[in-house]
């Protein structure tokens, strides 16, 4: 090993010694949950979390615009992808078995699932969004096609430019 290689190695070791591993771990964790949001079709984790219902501990469900249900856990995402269900009955059966619910718990689960809002998909940015939350924030606007006023305006401007 020559002197130049040893010098590079020492610089590399010094750089590694100066890494803030806690900050790096936090950045990786944040990137993972943002990736989870993107996988489920949301622009960011905060919107995914607001659009989802907490079932137990860190397990959530989300009713996607295409009718599927997603079961996910942000703490387990690095090792466990979201589980998708084609209908609420399949999801209900899974949760009953997962939580080992009795008849009373099953009835409560069924009532809770009936109240979960199905997301819409924005025609412009193609992100999932909660139409009820959006209507509450901006009651004077029809949000059936777009997740925001910005997406609606961009879509209209795009149509005008094409003409």
CA 113 to CA 130: how far, in whole Å?
15
CB 85 within 8 Å of CB 69: yes
Determine the distance from the C-alpha atom of residue 25 to the mean position of all C-alpha atoms in its chain, rounded to a whole number.
20
| Residue 70 · residue 84 · CB < 8 Å | yes
Q: In whole angstroms, give the CA distance from residue 76 to residue 93.
A: 21
pLDDT digits (tens, 9 = 90+) for 122-139: 999 999 999 998 888 777
Q: What mean pLDDT do residues 147-155 have? A: 87
Strand partners, 85: 69
- Phi, psi for 34 (deg, rounded to 5): -70, -35
Residue 131: other Cβ atoms inside 10 A: 17
Res 163 pLDDT > 90: no
Q: Which residue has the higher pLDDT, 103 or 133?
A: 103
pLDDT tier for residue 155 given thresholds of 50, 70 and 90: confident
């Amino acid at each position: 090993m020559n002197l130049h290689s040893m010098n590079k190695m020492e610089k590399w070791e010094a750089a590694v010694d100066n890494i803030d591993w806690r900050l790096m771990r936090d950045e990786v964790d944040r990137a993972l949950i943002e990736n989870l949001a993107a996988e489920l079709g949301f622009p960011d984790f905060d919107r995914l979390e607001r659009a989802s219902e907490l079932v137990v501990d860190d397990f959530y469900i989300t009713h996607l615009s295409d009718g599927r249900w997603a079961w996910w856990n942000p703490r387990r995402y690095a090792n466990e992808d979201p589980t998708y269900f084609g209908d609420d009955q399949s999801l209900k059966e899974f949760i009953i078995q997962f939580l080992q619910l009795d008849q009373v718990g099953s009835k409560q689960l069924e009532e809770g699932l009936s109240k979960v809002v199905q997301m819409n998909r924005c025609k412009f940015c193609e992100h999932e969004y909660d139409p009820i939350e959006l209507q509450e924030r901006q009651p004077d606007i029809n949000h059936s096609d777009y997740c925001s006023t910005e997406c609606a305006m961009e879509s209209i401007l795009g149509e005008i430019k094409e003409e």
